[in-house]
Amino acid sequence: MALKGFMSKGKGGLFATSSAASSAGSTISDADKLALLADLEQSGLGWFWATDKTGSLTYLSEAFCARLGLELADIAGRPLQEIFAIRDSDGRAQSLALKMGSRKAFSSLVVSPVNSQSDCVVNLSGRPMSDESGEFSGYRGSASDITDQFQREEETERLAKFDSLTGLANRHQMARTIDATLTAFRAAKRNCAVMMLDLDRFKQVNDTLGHAAGDELLKEVASRLKRAAGKEVEIGRLGGDEFQLMLPDMDDRGELGEIAKRIIAMLSQPYSLEEGRCVIGASIGIAIAPHDGISGDDIVKSADMALYAAKNSGRGRFRFYSGELANEALFRRRLEEDLASAVREEQLFLKYQPIVSFETRMVEALEAQICWNHHQRGVIDHEEFHSIMENSAMALEVGEWAIAQACQDASSWPDGLRVAVNVPSKQFISDSFVEGVEAALERSALDPSRLELEVSEAVFQGDSNAVDKTLGALFKLGVRRTLDEFGIGHSSLGYLRRAPFDAIKITPEFYQSHNDAADNDMPLISAIVALSKALGMSITASGVETVELYDELRASGVASVQGEIFADSLSLEKVEEELAKGSWQIEPVTARNPRARRRTVYRKIEVIHDDHSYEVTLRNLSKSGALIEGLVDVPNDTQFVVDLGGGQLAVATVTRSNNDLQGLEFETPLVDDGAGGLCTRIRVSPYALAAAGADLEALPDGDYKGMKGGMIDPSKSVPKFGYSGAPVS
């Protein structure tokens, strides 16, 4: 291992003495050569190494060993590949043993020590040596320390791939990752989901707390995303407040919906930043390859369109892509445009849901809910109408109409009965809001104490002075003020203590688990009740459906309750009919169980039985079943495959049959599609369709007709059931 031995071993050694050199009058002695090499090694400008013909180390510069943090005695005689490993920034594996086994020269090989605490990175070069007889005798080579250069290049490469603020993959890296994954998955016939995520109200944080707070918030969002999404999910920040997630081998929309809900819930929790406290939200669009696209561009475009739909449907929601989204967006814009004529032509009307006292079971208030009798769409219920109105330019006009109409309706009710109206944030912060309330009360001659205005916590994100002024004006007016959706939005307990509210309303988010027989959240409810009593406020629980939840809320001290356990929304005529009876007392429906909400659909679909496809009318739809119309002589227990379109096939059994109506129960319940609708968990695999002869490139257009067992030809199958009328062409 001596330097002298390194110099003299083998032909062509460094600084080898030759007769030519001697004849030229060289005066460099062997001792001088050794001293020169030693100085070079100690300077760090160059190190040397050598192996025998087996590849075992025979020499390594002492300065080199010291830099690596290795003891010379510990590595002498060990194969070189056990001491060094190749570092390749491209991710391609290279074998040092293979390099040396070829017995060819190599240069500029980037290596680092295998078993060492040193962060040293080395540029390694070597060439094969031969003995007197020309036989291979080992390698000799040089090395240099390139740690600083390597780390600079590595950092530059990292910055090119990752977002400098959050450490997540950036837009370009995510695009490359998605493209590469989908290409590989297409060959392997695997699925992959992509989520596009956009933060709600992030701009308000930047505007009110500053950009430093915005940056801090984005880092916290990235951290929460990692916890919520799981280890196998690739997460990227595309820029601004846009994020993207790639979930390999995921096509179960039930599971994807749960992940999206978990992410939205986690990101919606309050953030404590150095500059202050804030609350934001998130909207998510989901697309699945190959159902919604087979290339990276296609799937990202589909997810982006779903995100746009989610934001338009009220924010804080998720949405799956479907081929109908483009038409839906156009139709929604037309609905928003139609709102102006809806007010003028009296197409809007109010329904009322009772708010019942726990103690007396008496109806103490009725909450007004806006519905729309659209001239083409038919009746649009209050949930869908709310999502349409939220982003409409007509929000203020519709809000003013709702308060005026509610006051007019309530003016003929008994004196002890209040009317509650939900006030959108946009309306609450408008300059004309209080004047509009005054005008509505004056025209209807309604006692101000009988008008209850429900305001969500979102108003606190705006100008706090303006909010205080409006609340103070309503207090002087004598109007009852309720803080809606308490605890899931923006307000703090400190603000609540000084804000002049009469009541707090908690929403189903607090106890949704009870409707699903999950965890117990009553300690939190009890704490809110205690808080409200300490502040002189009453508390109402909304969205109550089950007796179990009702009993626990009563035990916790909640003052009043609202929900389907008492009654759903009632028409004005029904309200007046109940009031005409005198005292209006409602008992909870003790036999009620949470029932899957049935949605009126009324559209044409296909059902398959014994390889024959029938076109029927879908009348309504719930998670557990459906009602179809059009077939006769269908006995109970008949099994159908219901084709809901877009590759959505659901196995269902007839549980009741009456003339041309059949009630169906699904074998596997449907899941929430994020937009108030329902969808199947799994869709027919486009790869199965391709195997049956379909064009994979054309599948995103949604041609999945009759795919229970391959391509069905109705003309060659025999129908077992007849139609109640002529089949629809």
Tell me the three-class secondary structure of 135-158, residue by residue: CEEEEEEEEEECHHHHHHHHHHHH
Give the type of residue at 363. V
Give the type of residue at 502. D
Q: What is the CATH number of the domain that holds 98?
A: 3.30.450.20
Q: Is residue 157 part of a domain?
A: no
Q: Is residue 413 part of a domain?
A: yes
Q: Is residue 590 part of a domain?
A: no
Closest Cα to residue 502, out of 435, 451, 464? 451
Contact between residue 294 and residue 182 where contact means Cβ atoms under 8 Å apart: yes
pLDDT digits (tens, 9 = 90+) for 187-206: 888 999 999 999 988 887 88
Q: Which of 260, 293, 323 is the last residue of a domain?
A: 323
**CA separation for the pair 686, 699 (Å, rounded):** 7
255-264, 378-387, 442-451: least confident range: 378-387
Q: What is the CATH number of the domain that holds 406?
A: 3.20.20.450
- Mean pLDDT is highest, among 26-30, 309-313, 335-339, 413-417, for 413-417
Quick check: 20 pLDDT over 50?
Answer: no
**CA separation for the pair 275, 288 (Å, rounded):** 39
Give the torsion through C-alpha atoms of 695, 700, 703, 705, to 10 deg: 110
Quick check: 174 pLDDT over 60?
Answer: yes
Q: Are residues 266 and 372 in the same domain?
A: no
Quick check: 16 pLDDT over 60?
Answer: no
217 vs 3, more confident = 217
Q: Are residues 179 and 299 in the same domain?
A: yes
Length of the chain: 729
Q: Is residue 289 part of a domain?
A: yes
Q: Which of 106, 122, 152 is the last residue of a domain?
A: 152
Closest Cα to residue 543, out of 530, 533, 529, 558? 558
Q: Are residues 490 and 400 in the same domain?
A: yes
Q: Are residues 15 and 115 in the same domain?
A: yes
Contacts of 610 (CB under 8 A, 6+ apart): 717, 718, 720
Contact between residue 267 and residue 221 where contact means Cβ atoms under 8 Å apart: yes
φ and ψ at 283, to 5 degrees? -125, 145
Q: Are residues 626 and 683 in the same domain?
A: yes
76-90, 399-413, 553-567: least confident range: 76-90
Quick check: 513 pLDDT over 50?
Answer: no
Cross-strand partners of 236: 169, 244
Q: By residue range, what is the domain housing residue 543?
A: 344-579
Q: Is residue 533 part of a domain?
A: yes
Q: Are residues 110 and 239 in the same domain?
A: no
Q: Which of 546, 579, 612 is the last residue of a domain?
A: 579
Give the model's pLDDT for residue 175: 94
pLDDT digits (tens, 9 = 90+) for 695-725: 555 444 444 443 434 445 555 677 888 888 6
Q: Is residue 638 part of a domain?
A: yes
Q: What is the mean pLDDT of the chain?
A: 82
**CA separation for the pair 98, 108 (Å, rounded):** 16
- Mean pLDDT is highest, among 307-311, 652-656, 714-718, for 652-656
Give the model's pLDDT for residue 700: 45
**CA separation for the pair 357, 584 (Å, rounded):** 11
Cα 469 to Cα 28, 440, 442: the distances in Å are 95, 20, 21
Q: Are residues 458 and 530 in the same domain?
A: yes
Q: Is residue 592 part of a domain?
A: no
Q: Are residues 564 and 415 in the same domain?
A: yes
Cα 586 to Cα 363, 421, 564: the distances in Å are 7, 21, 12
Give the torsion through C-alpha atoms of 626, 627, 630, 631, to 10 deg: 80
Give the type of residue at 155. E
**CA separation for the pair 707, 613 (Å, rounded):** 10
* pLDDT > 70 in the chain, percent: 80
Q: Are residues 351 and 467 in the same domain?
A: yes
pLDDT digits (tens, 9 = 90+) for 70-79: 777 778 888 8
pLDDT digits (tens, 9 = 90+) for 343-377: 888 899 999 999 999 889 999 999 999 999 887 77
Q: Are residues 60 and 208 in the same domain?
A: no
Q: What is the CATH number of the domain that holds 207?
A: 3.30.70.270
Report which DSSP code applies to 162.
B
Question: Quick check: pTM over 0.75?
Answer: no
* Average pLDDT of span 629-640: 93
Question: Token pair of 189, please?
Answer: 């016939």
Q: Is residue 332 part of a domain?
A: no
Give the model's pLDDT for residue 494: 56
**CA separation for the pair 117, 143 (Å, rounded):** 19
Q: Are residues 569 and 494 in the same domain?
A: yes
Domain count, the chain: 4
Q: What is the CATH number of the domain that holds 672?
A: 2.40.10
Give the model's pLDDT for residue 297: 93
Quick check: 22 pLDDT over 50?
Answer: no
**CA separation for the pair 695, 690 (Å, rounded):** 6
Q: Are residues 25 and 101 in the same domain?
A: yes
